[in-house]
A and B are shown apart, each in its own frame.
Chain A
Amino acid sequence: GAGVSQSPRYKVAKRGQDVALRCDPISGHVSLFWYQQALGQGPEFLTYFQNEAQLDKSGLPSDRFFAERPEGSVSTLKIQRTQQEDSAVYLCASSLPQGMNTEAFFGQGTRLTVV
């Protein structure tokens, strides 16, 4: 597709439920990032993939968060046993390798509300 696509756009989960958020990056983009954005705040880094390798997961807030990109394209962010504090917008971005001084393209995000 022309841009980064995320689905679903909105997700309401009951506390304790597992959720899976999908990101389709721009074709050919090696780098893929997940960010979490709380209301009124800037995006906070969660994890980074280069192709299928998860090179950095230092931003994942707990072991309930898990991300994968098994074939180096589509990525899924999974949150197990959701808590209210997980409510946020989850943004996915893709780019060419950053050594090329290139921009990151963001998807529209998935707004997760845990009730």
Chain B
Amino acid sequence: SQQGEEDPQALSIQEGENATMNCSYKTSINNLQWYRQNSGRGLVHLILIRSNEREKHSGRLRVTLDTSKKSSSLLITASRAADTASYFCATFTGNQFYFGTGTSLTVIP
């Protein structure tokens, strides 16, 4: 079963707007990672945030981590049509990555 949950399940915004998606998880972690998946494709790694970090930036991406609430958020600023994809958070526990159910983002040109 999946460990995490993304919220919202689906998000539709206009190009240029910001998109925020959230992830909650259940167990203690060493790190949390965000992935993007275009329809019919594999997952592409976006960013990794360690458990002792609270915020991390990469280009138009900003990730926050609150280990006390077991939650993370991914912010995509100045969205583009090419950002349309599903976004998953993943935590690593034991021998496996646990993925949430994903947020489907649609950016309307």
Contact = CB atoms under 8 A, between A and B. Distances in A.
Contacts, number: 63
Contacts of A42: 2, 4, 88, 99-102
A101 to B, nearest CB: 5
Interface residues of A, number: 26
Given A42-B2, A109-B41, A104 B97 contact: yes
Q: For the complex, would chain B's binding face be called helix, strand, loop or mixed by DSSP majority? A: strand
Nearest to B1: A44
Interface residues of B, number: 27
Interface of B: 1-2, 4, 30-31, 33, 35, 40-45, 48, 50, 88, 90, 92, 94-102
16 contacts: A33-B97, A41-B102, A42-B2, A42-B4, A43-B99, A44-B99, A45-B98, A56-B94, A93-B97, A98-B92, A101-B30, A106-B35, A106-B42, A106-B43, A106-B44, A109-B41
